[in-house]
Structure 1
């Protein structure tokens, strides 16, 4: 290990077991830049970059991961890393345990082959949420009561959950293209539309949509252009506006335009009102007002 100038760093290791052979989390903060050689190990290693920058070399692979919570897997062979100032989290899981967890997801691929395929791959489906959960776990450890954190049952449960989440990422990466089961581009498009309709009220995640559809985002973009004459983002906007118009048209006396806008995925009322008027020729408050004025005919009248 070497660095430029006096090395200053803090390293905290959280072992899930009392022995040194089990899974562990490593929290590290370094200053200034550090160059290190990571020895070959029988465990699988993973890095979550926090505020630092990782530049890693492993065989034919080379990757720079900037400090934006990107994640990548480190295979079990030797490598060299250059780590910029900042902090990061490392995860180590024994290979047999991770293989067993991978088998639970009905993945018939060998763990080694999967790791080779995703080496230094920062775009794994679901890695962003996984990183957030690990960072939250780190926060819980830092602020949690010692009488709970030190319990063997607590550590065992957390290790099992962490191992299953890593295995889930790898299982998804092992079969990256669900197009084998979609059968056609039209079915893939239908899956994408179904995903958008089910998630239109939330923050839109194109990578998750593409995973569910079984096509790349670029391929789906071309399909949306051809079938709907719009981009994916424009289609999401249309769906949100349609949902909002449906809710406004119900004339609920206890709701407001702002509440409906937020429920349909809009965060800025002014932008929502402009987009709504462009789409339907009237302001959302007018739709709500007209819906409240309309009184359905009484039952039995002609």
Structure 2
């Protein structure tokens, strides 16, 4: 796998934005720096799954981006760099989804990890065909977890944040791959990231638009959503989304939603205790199935037994 070693230095805000877009394609400027004195540097090292971005903003700059194909863990080394929506962070901070930043003379180390890489490793760990990533916060889960994360970052970064001379050694690629696997594992341990077995085979090889749609569905299948909502999240037309699902998954967005809801209901039925008053109707309704008869038929087709049998066992 080819390594990335990219260096950029400019005093032009437009050129800085273009450089940022090589790492964060959807980034946009919210507030253009006024006056002179602007300086921007960006050093990026890594591969297609994990990159380390060393970034310096030499003045005030406000940005926005949509991190839909991965997540970033931001280390503010100097100055001020805030997530506008969650506020300042005293340590490493997990950024994902739609984010806005405010920078004042900051120097950063940003670890970027693709969702596809996390899903592959998580699926392997779970013994599943694929996994779905869910985020539940931005701060490390504990001080000890943050310390472990930082030590793994130092280890993983040390092999790529140089001029690449060690790449000529025969074992370099294997060492890097193992270091990056350790880094992803440390991120899952240190931050409030949940991984669950998914319902789509081979999501890592899907187009990014379809992956966005699948994650939107599987992240919270119980919430109300229409095919138009799914298409908007995927940044596609409804027709384009339907064609993409047929081509890559041999199904429709709404049928995938139905299967995701069935899987969630199945999981809850297995964990529920009928002695506490849990009922099939209640659980089915929680996952969007208003007709108990249709839910039972669909459930039996998918799992080979009735939902009542699953609940009783």
TM-score (norm 2): 0.43
Which is greater in Rg?
1
Q: If the length of structure 1 is used for normalisation, what is the TM-score?
A: 0.44
Higher strand share: 2
